[in-house]
Structure formats: structure tokens, C-alpha cells
Amino acid sequence: MKLTVDGLHVTLDHQPILRDVSLDAAQGDIVGLIGPNGSGKSTLLRAVYRSLRPAQGVVRVAGDDVWKLPARTAARRTAAVLQDSNSNAVGLCVQEIVALGRTPHHGLLGRDGAEDHRAVAEAMDVCGARPLAER
């Protein structure tokens, strides 16, 4: 899916963190965000996956403003694996972490089914992560 960030401004505690950030990434593009600590890389990603609402600008995934979509629909389009050592994923194997991406596709008490297992296996194959499944 295409990702577009247009004129994004993010403030935290009334302090500007990002100013007028724009980005276009087509489906299949690999994009790296690089910069020193505190330059706004994580803040940009938080705005993309709806963890932090921008003060101005728009984030579009597949042409839709993520902040105008229902949360569940937006969650089906974006995901993040964070580097935080205190994350909830501690103690999970790689396959279980990948399977977390299926959560927005379930009902309230939904569980993984055959389609979910196929999607997880395919995602791991595409990334070459199948040998790491149990780590």
C-alpha cells in the first residue's frame, strides 16, 4: 500500500517536534529513517500508526487519511514492531510476534484460524524469517 505523509506537524507538551514533514512511499518501497537521537524518527512513525495525533498535516495509507478511518481499519493497514526492550512482546517467539499482526482481523473473542496461520507463514517466508520462527 502507498504511504503518504503531507505537511505533518507534531507537537508534544506544546513543543514542536516535527515541522512540515512530507514523505511518499510506494507499495514495495523500502524506506529507512535515519538521524540522530531526538530528531523525530519515532515521532513520525507514531503518527503513521495512529499512536500520536498530528497537530497539522495528513497521513494517508492506500489513499485514506488514517485519522479519518475507524481504528480497526487503520490497524489492519499499519503495524509496528518497536525496539523498546520493555515491550509487551518480551517472552514471545518470532512467529508469535508476527501473528500479532493478525489481531485486527479477529472479532472480539476471535482466535487464529487456518487463514491466519497461512498469512503468518507467508509473511515470514517473504521476509526470510521462517528459520527464526521459534526464537
User: Residue 64: what pLDDT?
Assistant: 95
Please give the single-letter amino acid code of residue 10.
V
pTM for this entry: 0.66
Grid coordinates given for 39? 530528531
Q: What is the mean pLDDT of residues 17-30?
A: 93
Q: What is the mean pLDDT of residues 110-129?
A: 89
Structural domain spans, the chain: 1-80, 81-135
In the three-class reduction of DSSP (H, G, I as helix; E, B as strand; rest coil), residue 25 is classed as strand
The CATH number corresponding to 1-80 among 2.70.210.12, 3.40.1640.10, 3.40.50.300, 3.30.365.10 equals 3.40.50.300
Q: What number of other Cβ atoms are within 10 A of residue 93's Cβ?
A: 13
Q: What is the mean pLDDT of residues 30-48?
A: 91
d(CA 127, CA 26): 18
User: Residue 127: what pLDDT?
Assistant: 87
d(CA 76, CA 100): 11
User: Residue 48: what pLDDT?
Assistant: 93
